[in-house]
Structure 1
Amino acid sequence: MEIKLTGKHYVTTDNHQYVLREERKSEKGDLYKVVLGYYGTFNHLVRGLIEKEIKNDSTNDLITLKKRLSEIEQNITRLLNEVIEKRGECTCQK
């Protein structure tokens, strides 16, 4: 399964791990994905993504960074709820 987490980040899974990938563009303009990390749990993957966003963010104030991290968290939560609902397993409240 592959789930798009952000505009350029994806997660794929197998029986043993979660793989965080990032979509990039080659010099020729072709899109391809590179592996950013392998994680044993989804929570670790989310923490890894947030850590990468913090390290790569050019934000120079804490309020803007906090807002960006909140947006990432909300996006991931929304996407996961959509996946769960499509499977008919949703026990969450809206």
Structure 2
Amino acid sequence: MILLSSYAIRSIRYVTLAPGGHTVRLTTFSVTGAPNRYRHYDVPLTSVSSHVSRSDGGVMPIKVKGKWFYYILDTKKGQFLRPKLFDETVGTFRVLK
């Protein structure tokens, strides 16, 4: 149960770039259920890094500065409305210190 809960918390449902392009909102699932089905994290874009390309495989691990584990983004079933913008912002490798 704990393993399943931790996977649900780290699975990304939506990635939204805020106006201005300096922050990104990661929306993940919540284990508590309704009415709070989702959790939102507003993160500066400089604190988000991806180690693989969107086209490399089925899932894309995304590292957020200050968080212990990676967030997981499904690239096969997921829909990218503006793929080039995603690759240049969230899908970019950054050194997080």
TM-score range, shorter chain: 0.3 to 0.5
Structure with the bigger percentage of strand: 2
The one of the two structures with greater contact order (alpha-carbon pairs below 8 A, sep at least 6) is: 2
Give me the TM-score of the superposition, normalised by structure 2.
0.34
Give me the TM-score of the superposition, normalised by structure 1.
0.35
Structure 1 or 2, whichever has the larger Rg, is 1
